[in-house]
Amino acid sequence: MRTVIIGNGPGGVELANQLSGEHEVTIIERENVPHYSKPMLSRYIAGFVEKEKLFPYSLDWYENKGIVLNLGIKAKVIDRARKRLITSDDEIPYDVLIIATGARPREPTFEGKEFVQTLRTLQDAERIKEQIEKYGDALILGGGFIGLELAGNLAKAGHRVRLVHRGSNLLGLDEELTRVIIEKLECDGVEFYLNANALKADENGVFTDRGYVEGEVKVCALGVIPNNEIAVKSGIHTGRGILIDDHFRTSAENVYAIGDCAEYNGIIGGTAKAAMEHARVLANNLRGKEDRYDFEFCSTVFKFGDFPIALIGKTKGKGEWLDEKTRVFLEGEKVVGVVVIGDVRKAMMLERKIKAEVRINEL
């Protein structure tokens, strides 16, 4: 079976890994480097990891697995009738095609956006790292997980960090959890500007509706936009992302989508963990094994500097403390979500219990 995967992020590379030895796997990737870890980019910028450590797989790894890796090549359109992927270089025949093109950062729309950068790729990270090393301070726009990871790591490395966030709550969590995150990061030196909308940027900082915030190196982390262009050009149905069913099938025969580019029932994964789980479930489906991914169930661990936090299941709304590091979310007596601070192993144990639909007195 000739399986062509567009994208060498965690979704694409994990699928290739799963199917190698069973399928003839080819990856098309527009970047010029083998797979690297995006969750580690903030630590790299802060100087806590060497560049080499970002790459879990060498080029030999791909070769030994029999995976053909085509770097520096852009997938342009899918010729569905002829079952060929048209790239910037060539035409590649496929039996099965997987779109794993990920997402790109949402760009700011305000005046002076040329003074603000975004973080998604290794190249972005290298540019930001160079500037941080030159100027020292950072101004981060957006209190999502990428903004918090970068803020935590840069503060830990001794840089002055200011974080502007338009809301009062972080990560969609309730007030108490937001307070815990803020207190922890403030302890490391992050300065928060909450309920502040960025209106304009200049060389030295950002004008917000709550005043001017200084910062020469400005990084905008205001969420992502799924890369669905190849699907649009190929006549495949899209919404915000590429529309898929519960088996990752797109509207085109033998064409699937996984990871940050895929949208199921209005839901977009948005994490490396989700992209890799999509890949594992799709690999089973392609092997003819029934397997399902629960798109409604979110489970992620983030590390903001030294501060790990796990969000499992439904964590919106008001929770209650089970102990000082565990906040649970209930529907009646049933536990539907949990946020665990610090103890990631405990989070994994609780995830199993929540999936088993336990009641609060059984935790």
- Residue identified by tokens 């969750």 is 39
Contact indicator for 20, 5 with CB cutoff of 8 Å: no
Torsions phi, psi for 307 (to 5 deg): -115, 95
Span interacting with ligand FAD, options 18-26, 152-160, 269-277, 290-298, rule CB under 6 A: 269-277
Span interacting with ligand FAD, options 35-43, 238-246, 321-329, 338-346, rule CB under 6 A: 35-43
Span interacting with ligand FAD, options 7-15, 151-159, 193-201, 305-313, rule CB under 6 A: 7-15
Query: In Å, what is the CA distance from 15 to each residue of 68, 94, 227?
Result: 13, 15, 18
Pick between residue 92 and residue 119 the one whose CB is nearest to ligand FAD.
Answer: 119
241 binds ligand FAD (CB under 6 A): no
15 binds ligand FAD (CB under 6 A): no
Task: Go through 53-67 and write b for each residue having 16 or more CB atoms within 10 A of its CB, e for each that does not.
Answer: ebbebeeebbeeeeb
Pick between residue 102 and residue 207 the one whose CB is nearest to ligand FAD.
Answer: 102
Shortest Cβ 111–ligand FAD spacing (Å): 25
Among residues 209, 212, 180, the alpha carbon closest in space to that of 197 is found at: 209
Torsions phi, psi for 116 (to 5 deg): -115, 140
Q: Which of 180, 275, 282, 335 binds ligand FAD (CB under 6 A)?
A: 275
Pick between residue 213 and residue 309 the one whose CB is nearest to ligand FAD.
Answer: 309
Report how far residue 282's alpha carbon sits from residue 288's, in angstroms, rounded to the nearest whole number: 10
- Give the 3-state secondary structure of residue 107: coil
- How are beta strands 320-323 and 326-331 bridged, if at all? antiparallel
Q: Which of 98, 230, 298, 339 binds ligand FAD (CB under 6 A)?
A: 230
Pick between residue 146 and residue 341 the one whose CB is nearest to ligand FAD.
Answer: 146
Contact indicator for 120, 144 with CB cutoff of 8 Å: no
Pick between residue 5 and residue 213 the one whose CB is nearest to ligand FAD.
Answer: 5
Span interacting with ligand FAD, options 49-57, 99-107, 241-249, 330-338, rule CB under 6 A: 99-107
9 binds ligand FAD (CB under 6 A): yes
Q: Is 33 exposed, middle or buried (0-12, 13-18, 19+ CB in 10 A)?
A: middle
Report how far residue 264's alpha carbon sits from residue 259's, in angstroms, rounded to the nearest whole number: 11
Contact indicator for 138, 161 with CB cutoff of 8 Å: yes
333: its two tokens: 């007596």
Q: Which of 2, 20, 30, 346 binds ligand FAD (CB under 6 A)?
A: 30
Q: Which of 25, 69, 75, 196 binds ligand FAD (CB under 6 A)?
A: 75
DSSP state of 9: S
Shortest Cβ 105–ligand FAD spacing (Å): 7
Angle at 121 between CA 92 and CA 220, to 5 degrees: 135
Number of residues that bind ligand FAD (CB under 6 A): 36
Report how far residue 104's alpha carbon sits from residue 179's, in angstroms, rounded to the nearest whole number: 29
Q: Which of residues 281-310 bind ligand FAD (CB under 6 A)?
A: 300, 302
Pick between residue 74 and residue 127 the one whose CB is nearest to ligand FAD.
Answer: 74
- Count the residues in the chain: 363
Q: Which of 20, 24, 39, 249 binds ligand FAD (CB under 6 A)?
A: 39
Shortest Cβ 229–ligand FAD spacing (Å): 7
Pick between residue 207 and residue 302 the one whose CB is nearest to ligand FAD.
Answer: 302
Shortest Cβ 56–ligand FAD spacing (Å): 13
Shortest Cβ 76–ligand FAD spacing (Å): 7
Shortest Cβ 361–ligand FAD spacing (Å): 31
Report how far residue 299's alpha carbon sits from residue 302's, in angstroms, rounded to the nearest whole number: 10
- Give the 3-state secondary structure of residue 93: strand
Q: Which residues bind ligand FAD (CB under 6 A)?
A: 6-12, 28-31, 38-39, 41-42, 74-75, 100-103, 119-120, 146, 149, 227, 230, 259-260, 270-273, 275, 300, 302
